[in-house]
Structure 1
Amino acid sequence: MDIAFVLYPDMTALDLIGPYDVLGHAPDVTPHFVAATLDPVRCDAGLLITPTTTFESMDRADVIVVPGGKPYDVLADGTVTTWLRKVHPTATWTTSVCTGSTLLAAAGVLEGKRATTHWAMRDLLASLGAEVSTDRVVRDGQVITGAGVSAGIDMALTLAGILWGDTLAQGLQLAIEYDPEPPYDSGSVEKASPEVVNLIRGLLVNDFSADRN
């Protein structure tokens, strides 16, 4: 099974690494890290990830995983969305994490479909034609989207259950010891206090604003 993990500048590392650590260790999986070139890709906090192939070279995949990140530059560039339009029809499953769903929407993958994204990007996703859900993981047909960042692990475990059954999916969960007990109950915009929401909204304005420059 060929799984294409999409790379682009200023993506969020956990959006990629979370699903990779779930799906990449499953039997008969060949992971591919696909980007515009083979040059290392810099994530939003500075981590460098080296691609294994390019958009030009890879024209099919069984599963596509699109991470999120700073959305506007990559949307404007169009390289990722052009590749998604080409490769999505070949895939059995197309998935995203966080703002990756805005790239799926811009590529036409989410037309008429329910999808989720980072809470700060729900309006953008809606403007691109998707039916926005506040759920942590949304499956609509052969497309699965996860909400912000850490939801990529939930998305990948959901897909693992579909692909290989509940027992193996539960085993993958155990293997990464995914049993979160956070010290705070502010992990969603619906739960966080207005003070916390305003703090993070302010910090995100440079990343999640089309007028940030």
Structure 2
Amino acid sequence: MVMRFGILVFPNVQQLDLTAPYEIFASARGCEAHLVWKDRRPLASSTGLQLTPTATFDDCPPLDVLCVPGGTGVNPLLEDAATLDFLRRRAAEVRLLTSVCTGSLVLGAAGLLEGRKATSHWNALDLLKHFGAIPTVGRIVRDGALITAGGVTSGIDFGLAVIAELLGRDEAETVQLVMEYAPAPPFHSGLPQGARPEILAAAKNRLADSRHARERIVERLTQAKAR
């Protein structure tokens, strides 16, 4: 029996948010991974990599796992009715509802995080509270059938954890070994608490435009909900 993984793909997605779990899901025995969007036209990630959807909202097969990655392209999705409706429909059917990085904000905008623990990229974690979620620091955060992962590279750990959950530790470890995933970063600035102050300031400055745009969208959504 085939286990199906669906990963939302959209313009300006952070490609590693998507490709890291995709590589793991597609590499596990008896699994197939689908890139799902409104149509099958190729689209560009936030860094220009061209990606081609393999299924649409209308013809996507039944899924065991649904994953929403993040990136600058998340901002318009927070107010995109077609995307949010698709997520609401499929959330009721899948075994695991998941996200990587700021993809959790989209789940929140769809009303799927109310009262639940969730994580996101460190630069967006605080925004989760506006969707009724409980912001929780962690590389992988689980609340029942909801699994959210932190920023970008956490998608690798997350993917392996999902495979272990569904197919067992042996399969997850086999995939990890095939990929030679044995991280040994040359620097220890991958989280704010480990970065030098000037590096943290530079990173926040680089993310500022997307963050400010996201704040304005979240404010609109919050005000609309309060009416």
TM range (shorter): over 0.9
Q: How does 1:109-120 map to 2 (within 5 A)?
A: 109-120=112-123
Among candidates 123, 138, 141, match of residue 138 of structure 1: 141
Q: 8 Å contact 2:8–2:37 — kept in the other structure?
A: yes
Gaps of 5+ in 2: 217-227
Correspondence 1:12 to 2:4: no
Residue 124 of structure 2 aligns to a residue whose secondary structure is helix
Amino acid in structure 1 at the alignment position of 2:205: G
Among candidates 176, 185, 192, match of residue 173 of structure 1: 176
Q: Who is 2:60 aligned against?
A: 58
Per residue, is there more helix in 1 or in 2?
Answer: 2
Q: Who is 1:189 aligned against?
A: 192
Deviation of the 1:60 alpha carbon: 3.3
Among candidates 102, 108, 112, match of residue 105 of structure 1: 108
Gaps of 5+ in 1: none
The farther-off stretch of 138-147 and 57-66 is 57-66
Q: 8 Å contact 1:136–1:151 — kept in the other structure?
A: yes
- Give the Cα separation in 1 of the matches to 2:97 and 2:146: 5
- Give the Cα separation in 2 of the matches to 1:87 and 1:59: 10
Residue 207 of structure 1 aligns to a residue whose secondary structure is helix
Q: 8 Å contact 2:13–2:69 — kept in the other structure?
A: yes
Q: Who is 2:225 aligned against?
A: none
Correspondence 1:2 to 2:26: no
Q: 8 Å contact 2:25–2:32 — kept in the other structure?
A: no
- Give the Cα separation in 1 of the matches to 2:35 and 2:91: 16
Residue 33 of structure 1 aligns to a residue whose secondary structure is strand
Residue 138 of structure 2 aligns to a residue whose secondary structure is coil
Deviation of the 1:182 alpha carbon: 0.7
Q: Under a length normalisation based on structure 1, what TM-score does the superposition of the two structures give?
A: 0.95
Among candidates 35, 38, 42, match of residue 36 of structure 1: 38
Q: Under a length normalisation based on structure 2, what TM-score does the superposition of the two structures give?
A: 0.89
Correspondence 1:79 to 2:82: yes
The one-character-per-residue Cα deviations of 1:100-121 (angstroms, maximum 9, x if unpaired) are: 0001111122111111100000
Residue 97 of structure 2 aligns to a residue whose secondary structure is strand
Amino acid in structure 2 at the alignment position of 1:150: T
Distance 1:173 1:211, change over 3 A: closer
The one-character-per-residue Cα deviations of 1:126-164 (angstroms, maximum 9, x if unpaired) are: 211110111110011011110000001111111111111
TM-align CA RMSD: 1.6
For this pair of structures, how many residues does the alignment match?
213
- Give the Cα separation in 2 of the matches to 1:110 and 1:212: 18
